[in-house]
Chains A and B, each alone.
Chain A
């Protein structure tokens, strides 16, 4: 029996040494040391042995058991270490294989820039207002010093919603000026972004539906300089640098004096496509609020003394700002709802 133990020992140790992975070792361990393993079998057979062999066989089997446990243990540690090493091997690693990507989705570029503009103005204490897109002629024109037969109406290519022309698709965000005056108590500062409509043939630079941001500040002693200062602040934030600007005459019936506010083209030194080779970009129309517009907006307000008030107003297009920001060459993409376009502006 002792000889058998010895040959078993040599055989088992050799097999443990040869085991190449954890699974083989586990099978071997079971075969050798399991409940029905060889060692158990030997121990179970001890009562059948002659008395004089029992003690040595028992000792030898238990010693072998201990020896095998240790051998398997260290072999396991060895294999484990090899396994960890193997996991650290970078062979065949290619980080450029495409990952599992979350689906795409994002905000419209108009929304992105509009939020930027809103954030700049709210940080300066402006309230953000909204107004109807289907608007009364009164707000869109009459209260803004554009009476029914004013020639500038024809320049605006208005969509009318009824034959009597009392309801229009708003041609500008300016009607929100009047709505603000009706509701708020001066002094106040507001902006009103939103979509506007003009009956124009569509092409790469013309849309019948586009977006404006209106601004209105009303208070005592509001001056032209406040307007230019404010617009400069906006541009510096938007373009993240100081740009040259200029104020020149412009005609809008609801401001007097009225201005065009130009900004030096941020994309070129001596003329490019964006500025139509002029180096100036017409950024917005603006001016000091016409006294008769203040009269109309605050009419019937006993808590407001219009004679003490002045104000400035401005309006600029969001679409062009967006097109400039991203280099978009066709305005029709903005309202086209095409994912191939929308997915280009992840945000």
Chain B
């Protein structure tokens, strides 16, 4: 706030008010912190006496009055401590920066009850040559921060909310906002240069449009020395480490006006400045002593032909100001935002300077910033000289522009009743020029707002709106024609699947990452499938975008089996297929419900006790609820032979439901037991050994199928006859084929059929198994009698023989 107060009178404005108003009208304040809050407990002490420590040459034993009843004895190692001084004392119990707590101590046998602090120990500057000697007329025991007027507030503003406002990257810009918000005057800034000498200026040549303006100004008779306290404090308050006056003043101007600048040692750039693009293979060693490769897209500042700075990013090591430097060349320039941004990201150097240039800075600010730097430096070193007039070149244009805004447009977009004059006033407070012309505001946009942010009428509406206060805009009921919104069939289907699986089948819905790790894909044997890959993954091996949901779920089995006997998971998600990329570059998108069911291996040998059989049941139930019946010509087929079996599937236990879509046969559902090799590599061994099945159900296929909504059949009027039938059949005969034969044998009488036993073993002919069903026969017009059953069983027997087997057993029930 002290920095802001250099530009605008903040009298009577509390830090909280300031933070809130900036948040509500300009940009989000993320934090409001007391500067040097840690100094509240450090007090002013008066050194009453200083004596040599009996056992250490370099230590002094001091008696320090801190306003308490008794003076404190403190052992101090600083050479400059002396009786009669006022000093900063951290007493026992005080915490200093770095969470350093002062304790009572014995130093070489002498008791010490506190610490006399240096400027650096208090994080108030870099001076560590000795303790901080305070002025004489201070009250003993007073807090140092109060006594030395260090109380200040740091207002932290979110960078992201300033992306579009290059003018707010310096304190003066924020101060201008504050002036507008609180109706105060922005103080004038001295932008005049002191008198300059007659020497010719250093020639500057620009050979690329990426440098719009370049101002070079020689400054003589300067000294490298520590900055004055006020400057150090300002920099410290915003988290900058003070170094020496010249570095500090360059930073100060950047942070004050938002205009980066650079000071060269003039002796190192005597060949004249050339601004050009780099050449392939060229290198520059930057100030951080890193050698950096540059290329033809990087803008360089050269002395003669030697690179001395990476334009807008960082200066070069070779031309930096040295301790003995007395003559400088000041660079204040305007560089192309994109060029600086690209160079900074290419060389991996995001600096305070590049962050500002990439926001598109105002070229008109260049001479003002140069003058500001010179004037500020002159206030500290009054003897400096400007041997020549500034050289200011470049093909820049003043970005200021005129924008016309219809008052009515602003009023209707914002929905507030503001007169044209009120809106004009609001804009004028932000230093826009406004003339009213009928119902139109002719607005001249100042250069520092015109580089990027303000160019259209709607941009002015934003200025008017935020100054008025968005929070004051009343809500307005949205009135529109009412009709039921269209519903996306895929979303409706997704919801039905989610409901059935979570509610009916008691599966838990998981959401898994769209990325699948290379490790998982390798374990599942599907690493070589084509996949969309991100070029900058969050971690190595995490680049693949999934084609299918199923592997993600399989990857969650092991962790869950550690805590649960049974794992039932599903997810409805998207998969991406690079082989189906369209002409615009977008990969093919599929929509899939993935399911996985895992449990400890069951001792139950029943034909339908396996995870695969149970999952099949879940899927059939789901399909039935969606109007897709497995009986209706849709039949599971075992995968084998030519079929492509996914790597995770046991090829001997994989099955598919196929449907015809646009005359093409597509898989509606693929279901399989987890391949035993994959199970091992997933860690499903020993106590985690599991019976695992997984399935993928295509929403795309489901959506393309004709719907068969549930339909009513009248209830039977005559009681049905129950009969159990067991057939011995060759194992090659599919159950579904046998059921088809039973159906036919019934000649329309078979009302229901339920397989209840599958038996393989002794008492059966070689290569045969026994299948047993509960059947219900019904006729619409009569009660069935013994004769009907007998005829039926006769037909069943002949059918079984046709299939190569026999009727083993039959019994009527009830």
A224-252 to B contact mask, C-beta < 8 Å, 1/0: 11101110100000000000001111110
A34 at the interface (CB under 8 A from B): no
Shortest C-beta distance, B131 to chain A (Å), equals 37
A189-233 to B contact mask, C-beta < 8 Å, 1/0: 100000101011110000011000000010101111110111010
Given contacts A111-B498, A257-B466, 4 further A-B contacts (CB under 8 A): A151-B163, A167-B587, A228-B476, A342-B509
A217 and B584 form a contact (CB under 8 A): no
Q: Interface-forming stretch among B371-379, B419-427, B467-475?
A: B467-475
A160 and B585 form a contact (CB under 8 A): no
Residues of B within 8 A of A162 (CB): 535, 585
- Number of chain B residues close to chain A: CB under 8 A: 93
In the complex, the chain A residue whose C-beta lies closest to that of B463 is A257
Shortest C-beta distance, A257 to chain B (Å), equals 4
A249 and B534 form a contact (CB under 8 A): no
Q: Interface-forming stretch among A50-58, A88-96, A123-131?
A: A123-131
B485 at the interface (CB under 8 A from A): yes
A265 at the interface (CB under 8 A from B): no
A249 and B27 form a contact (CB under 8 A): yes
Q: Of residues 529 to 547 in B, which have CB atoms within 8 Å of A's CB atoms?
A: 532-538, 545
Contact for A151 among B358, B459, B498, B533, CB less than 8 A: B358
A160 and B475 form a contact (CB under 8 A): no
- Number of chain A residues close to chain B: CB under 8 A: 84
B459 and A219 form a contact (CB under 8 A): no
Task: Provide the bound-state CA to CA distance between A159 and B345, in Å.
Answer: 16
A106 and B502 form a contact (CB under 8 A): yes
Q: Interface-forming stretch among B298-306, B552-560, B723-731, B747-755?
A: B552-560
A250 and B586 form a contact (CB under 8 A): no
Residues of B within 8 A of A161 (CB): 532-535, 545, 587
Q: Of residues 450 to 503 in B, which have CB atoms within 8 Å of A's CB atoms?
A: 456, 458-459, 461-462, 465-466, 470-471, 473-478, 480-488, 490-491, 495, 498-499, 501-503
Which of B161, B341, B475, B476 has its CB near the most chain A CB atoms (within 10 A)? B475
Shortest C-beta distance, A58 to chain B (Å), equals 43
A68 at the interface (CB under 8 A from B): no
In the complex, the chain A residue whose C-beta lies closest to that of B478 is A226
In the complex, the chain A residue whose C-beta lies closest to that of B161 is A251
B160 at the interface (CB under 8 A from A): yes
Q: Can you list 6 A-B pairs with a CB-CB distance of less than 8 A? A: A107-B499, A149-B341, A161-B534, A169-B534, A232-B475, A337-B555
Chain A interface (Cβ within 8 Å of chain B)?
A: 102-108, 110-111, 115, 122, 124-130, 132-136, 138, 149, 151-152, 154-155, 159-163, 166-167, 169, 187, 189, 195, 197, 199-202, 208-209, 217, 219, 221-226, 228-230, 232, 246-251, 253, 256-260, 288, 290-291, 310, 334-335, 337-340, 342-343, 347
A125 and B482 form a contact (CB under 8 A): yes
Task: Provide the bound-state CA to CA distance between A237 and B297, in Å.
Answer: 54
Task: Provide the bound-state CA to CA distance between A274 and B584, in Å.
Answer: 43
Shortest C-beta distance, A115 to chain B (Å), equals 8
Task: Provide the bound-state CA to CA distance between A197 and B163, in Å.
Answer: 21
In the complex, the chain B residue whose C-beta lies closest to that of A108 is B509
B478 and A130 form a contact (CB under 8 A): no
Contact for A223 among B163, B476, B487, B498, CB less than 8 A: B476
Contact for A259 among B470, B486, B512, CB less than 8 A: B470
A251 and B585 form a contact (CB under 8 A): no
Task: Provide the bound-state CA to CA distance between A251 and B499, in Å.
Answer: 39
Residues of B within 8 A of A187 (CB): 480-481
Contact for A209 among B459, B514, B574, CB less than 8 A: B514
Shortest C-beta distance, B724 to chain A (Å), equals 29
Please list the 10 inter-chain residue pairs (A to B) with the smallest Cβ-Cβ separation, ordered nearest first: A225-B476, A105-B506, A257-B462, A229-B475, A337-B556, A223-B415, A337-B510, A225-B415, A103-B506, A247-B470
